[in-house]
Homo-oligomer: A and B are copies of this chain.
């Protein structure tokens, strides 16, 4: 609550939590001992003696984060409030395989730490995003289509020198986490739709990321578009990605004589008002809208955020998409539905990774476990005699 700015004094914490004052005092002592909270002056007096003001100590540790794409990566050191202390972007081909890629990331993490004037003692967690499905619990990519050599490889061990937990997730999930934390913290149900070469979706359900049974949730690129006959690389016909992905559009436009290489070029052509590209992107928006209309009926989100390279095309993509979603979804489910472009820039994946890593470190369960260990030590002397054998 202190971190979120919901309370900053003992009195406010007592009032907001309903906990006994003695419990609040004890927990604040513990958080101070862990270095996570510190006293910072006093509150304006309301009559009696002024109360101490407490602040979250965002500098109690740092996290190392990396967002790995197909050909580029972004790396950063952030504090516990996702403030960036050092960062860099560089070319790094994911298809070089886990050994070369992760060794390079580890080396750059070390360099970034030095640049920030820190050593690895300060690192409390590491967060990484990769462009493919991940089994989150074990941090292994699972049959990632554009990551040859990565299937089933545990990523954590590459970073064990830092002695900190390593969290690995799909890049689109990190975009959803980042957008939710930065722009829509009060909306419980959010979808982040990334429209780039492929099409994927990150799902926040009840304020938490929904990864699904195999970590495969959000793979909307292979949902069928009614009436579509395009063959997809997955082997099926009419998949959304084969109809409306940036790669598919670029290839169709090339066959119509428009000089575009990829999704980014398509978006640029639309911004330059190239008519064939504009019509293609508007149609793509309608196809994406058709699939999203289904997810709106099924999931009833409160916000849908559209990002990715093709989203740089702007209003033409969103117009087609909104048109179909509002026509095809139930009135109740779209009553307060917000459909917006991503507010944040290319650094969003890094922010998402920082949120993932800091939330893991600062999770209430983890603090509770520390508190339990703490109180076990302190209670050792006065445990009452129990009619049970020691185990």
Where the two chains meet, the residues of A that have a C-beta atom closer than 8 Å to any C-beta of B are 9-11, 15, 17-23, 25, 45-52, 133, 142-143, 187-189, 201, 203, 205-206, 208, 210-220, 222-227, 234, 236, 238, 290-291, 293-295, 297-302, 327-333, 335-337, 369, 372-373, 375-376, 379, 382-384, 386-391
Residues of B within 8 A of A17 (CB): 372
Instruction: Judge whether B214 and A391 touch: CB under 8 Å.
Output: no
Whether the Cβ atoms of A337 and B213 lie closer than 8 Å is yes
Say yes or no: B22 contacts A301, CB within 8 Å: no
B206 A208 Cβ-Cβ under 8 A:
yes
Interchain CB contact under 8 A, A375 and B293 = no
Are the CB atoms of A299 and B298 closer together than 8 Å?
A: yes
In this complex, the member of A17, A224, A337 whose beta carbon has the largest number of chain B beta carbons within 10 angstroms is A224
A298 touches B295 (CB 8 A): yes
Given contacts A297-B222, A298-B299, contact A20 B189 (CB under 8 A): no
**Cβ-closest chain B residue relative to A391:** B11
Residue numbers in B under 8 Å from A330 (CB-CB): 216, 219, 222, 234
Task: Check B10–A224 contact: CB distance below 8 A.
Answer: no
Q: Given A332-B133, A376-B20, A47–B206 Cβ distance below 8 Å?
A: no
CB contacts (< 8 Å) of A49 on chain B: these are 387-389
Cα distance, A390 to B49, chains bound together (Å):
10
**Distance of A13 Cα from B69 Cα, bound (Å):** 45
Task: Decide: A224 and B294 in contact? CB cutoff 8 A.
Answer: yes
- CB-defined contacts of A336 to chain B, threshold 8 Å: 213-214
Query: Which residues of B have CB within 8 Å of A25?
Result: 384, 386
Q: Can you pick out 26 interface pairs between chain A and chain B where the beta carbons lie within 8 Å of each other?
A: A9-B388, A11-B388, A21-B379, A21-B383, A22-B382, A22-B384, A47-B389, A48-B388, A48-B389, A52-B387, A189-B212, A205-B205, A210-B299, A212-B299, A213-B333, A216-B333, A217-B299, A218-B300, A219-B298, A219-B330, A222-B329, A223-B298, A226-B226, A226-B238, A236-B327, A294-B298
Are B48 and A390 in contact, with the CB atoms below 8 A?
A: yes
A226 in contact with B223 (CB, 8 Å): no
Known: A48-B390, A214-B300, A220-B294. 5 other contacts (CB 8 A): A25-B386, A45-B389, A51-B387, A218-B298, A294-B295
